[in-house]
Amino acid sequence: MVGAIASVQFGSALAATLFRQLGPGDTVFLRLTSAAVILLLIRRPGLRGRTRRELLLACAFGVVLAAMNLSFYEALDRIPLGLAVTIEFVGPFAVVGSRRRADRLWVVLAIAGILALTRGAVGGLNGLGVALALLAGALWGTYILLNARLGQAFEGSSGLTLAMCVAAFAALPVGIAGGGRLLDPASLALGSAVGVLSSVIPYSFELEALRRISPPTFGVLMSLEPAIAALAGLLVLGQHLGARALLGIALVVIASVGASRSSTAAPIAV
C-alpha cells in the first residue's frame, strides 16, 4: 500500500507536467492506454469460462477508472495536487468510515479540514476544480468497492488487465480529440512513465493488498495519500502550501485514520 501511494502521487505530479503539451484529457488517455499495453504484455486476460457477471464487473471497473482519472486530472489542472487529493479523499472516507454515532467526531474533523482548504487556501480555490475533485472522490469510493470484488473474482492481474483495456477504450473519444499531439515522442515517453507510475504499479499493488486486508485497514493506510500528494506537489511541481492548507490536510488525514480504525466492516465478498 505504501508503494502504491507513493507511486500514484508522484505519477500524478509527473502527469501535471504534461498538461501544457497535451491537456488533462489527452494525458489520461495516454496514461490508460500505455498501462493497458504494458499489462497486456505481462498477461493476457483469458475470457473463456468467465461468467457474464464477472465480465460486467471488469467492464464497470474500467469505466469507473476512466471517469475517475479524467475528473481528477481536470481538477489537478485547476487546483494544487495536495489539495485536490485531500478534497477527493471525501469519497474513500465515506466508503471505509465507521457508521457509529460515537464516531461523528471524525466527520466533524473531516468537514473542518475541507473548509480549511476551500476557504482562503492558497489565494482561493477554483470552484470547478473543487467540484471535479469531489466527483473524483465519489468515483474513488466506488473504485475501492469494485477493486475488492475484482480481486476475488479474477486470479492474478487478469481482471485488472481487462478493466484497463475497457478504461482505455472509454477514454478513446478524449484521445481522438487530442489529434496529433499524442504522437510527439517526448510526450509518448513521459505518458508511458505516467502510465507505469500512476496505473500499473499502484493498481496492481492495491489489488493484491485488497486480497489480504479489509477495506477499513485499507482506508487507514490510504490516509497517507493527501500528505504524500502534498509532498509530491512540492518536490515535482514546486507547489508550496500555506499553514491553513497544511492544517486542513492534517485534519482530513486524522479523521480518515480515526474513522477507518473504528470501522468493523469485513472484507468485501463477491
Count how many Cα atoms sit within 13 Å of the Cα of residue 209 in the half-sphere of its side chain.
Answer: 20
Instruction: Confirm whether 35 is domain-assigned.
Output: yes
Query: pLDDT at position 266, please?
Result: 39
Work out how many domains the chain is built from and give that number.
1
pTM: 0.77
Burial of 97 (0-12, 13-18, 19+ CB in 10 A): buried
Instruction: Confirm whether 269 is domain-assigned.
Output: no
Instruction: Confirm whether 60 is domain-assigned.
Output: yes
Kindly report, residue by residue over 11-55, the tens digit of the pLDDT.
888 888 888 788 888 888 888 998 898 888 887 777 777 888 989
Sign of CA dihedral 34, 38, 43, 44: positive
The residue segments making up the domain with residue 195 are 2-262
Cα 106 from Cα 97, distance rounded (Å): 9
Sign of CA dihedral 202, 188, 13, 143: negative
Instruction: Confirm whether 171 is domain-assigned.
Output: yes
Cα 38 to chain center, whole Å?
19
Nearest Cα residue to 168 out of 134, 191, 145: 191
Instruction: Confirm whether 268 is domain-assigned.
Output: no
Instruction: Confirm whether 23 is domain-assigned.
Output: yes
Instruction: Confirm whether 267 is domain-assigned.
Output: no
Number of Cβ within 10 Å of residue 270's Cβ equals 12
Low pLDDT (below 50) residues in the chain: 121-122, 264-270
Instruction: Confirm whether 59 is domain-assigned.
Output: yes
Cα 45 from Cα 151, distance rounded (Å): 13
